[in-house]
Amino acid sequence: MGSSKPQFTLHTHVTCPAAFKVAHVLSLLGLGYEPIYFDSVRITREEKLKWFTALNPNGRSPVLIDHTQNDHVVWESTAILLYLVTLYDAEHKLYPKDVFEQSKVNQWMMLQASGQGPTIGQAFWFGYWHDEVLPSAYKRYVDETKRILNVLETWLKERKWLVGEKMSIADVSYLSWYEEAYLVDVDLAKEFPAVNSWFETMKALPEIVAGSVGREMIKPKKLWERDDYKQDQAS
């Protein structure tokens, strides 16, 4: 592009794993983007919802806009990754050429999108944000998070990458969620060593480091560790 404006706008949030998954892939493909963080937009929630749902009817982060394709808008992080590799990975750096290999990448990505991400997301919810203290619901989602981690651990004990001999968008798609494993009391290094070494290999890549700029890691207290809840229980 001739101008200084980056090719893409990425609507994101400083703590959003789904959006950093996209930022990681943009960075790995050498594609320029301008992140727009929800928090930096000083407008009311109602106004925000209006302009944001005009972009994404589901109202969630991330949303990607491609300014070189008539401002084409894509939402849902997995759909965004597939869009990016379809148009901008001619060398098959992150997505194989062979359709059968593609199908293997797709199946791991679908497990991420329908299993790993939503499950950890629900564990966060019942651990930190729900309006009732329900440790059993939290445990249910942490157990399921660990079940999926066990699937990956068994698979990665025998191989370095999820599909074939190199990293693909399937591998990258899991990374940003597992960066928050500490929030659901999972110690990857201790409990899932093969997953941990795969995770650390990706995390150390300069492109992943660059794609993580702007991310904020948080550590609030669990609902049942908060003083007001403890006081209520004691009285």
Q: Which is nearer to ligand GSH, 48 or 203 (CB)?
A: 48
Residue 146 Cβ, how far from ligand GSH at the closest point, in Å? 21
Q: Which is nearer to ligand GSH, 153 or 184 (CB)?
A: 184
Residue 60 Cβ, how far from ligand GSH at the closest point, in Å? 4
Structure tokens at 154: 């068994």
**DSSP for 163-216, written as a single string:** STTS--HHHHHHHHHHTTGGGGT--HHHH-HHHHHHHHHHHTSHHHHHHTTT--
Q: Which is nearer to ligand GSH, 50 or 230 (CB)?
A: 50
Residues forming the site for ligand GSH (CB under 6 A): 13, 16-18, 60-62, 76-77, 113, 117
CA gap 30, 160 in Å, rounded: 23
Q: Which is nearer to ligand GSH, 11 or 153 (CB)?
A: 11
- From the number of C-beta atoms within 10 Å of its C-beta (0-12, 13-18, 19+), residue 226 rates as middle
Q: Which is nearer to ligand GSH, 94 or 153 (CB)?
A: 94
Q: Which residue has the tokens 């930190």?
A: 128
Q: Which residues contact 128 (CB under 8 A, 6 or more apart)?
A: 183, 220, 222, 223
Residue 230 Cβ, how far from ligand GSH at the closest point, in Å? 28
Is residue 15 within 8 Å of residue 129, measured between CB atoms? no
Residue 57 Cβ, how far from ligand GSH at the closest point, in Å? 13
In terms of Cα–Cα distance, which of 53, 55, 61 is closest to 17? 61
Residue 117 Cβ, how far from ligand GSH at the closest point, in Å? 6
Residue 113 Cβ, how far from ligand GSH at the closest point, in Å? 6
Q: 3-state DSSP call for residue 20?
A: helix
Q: Which is nearer to ligand GSH, 124 or 153 (CB)?
A: 124
Q: Which is nearer to ligand GSH, 66 or 76 (CB)?
A: 76
Structure tokens at 231: 């006081």
Is residue 208 within 8 Å of residue 28, measured between CB atoms? yes
CA gap 98, 104 in Å, rounded: 10
Residue 226 Cβ, how far from ligand GSH at the closest point, in Å? 22
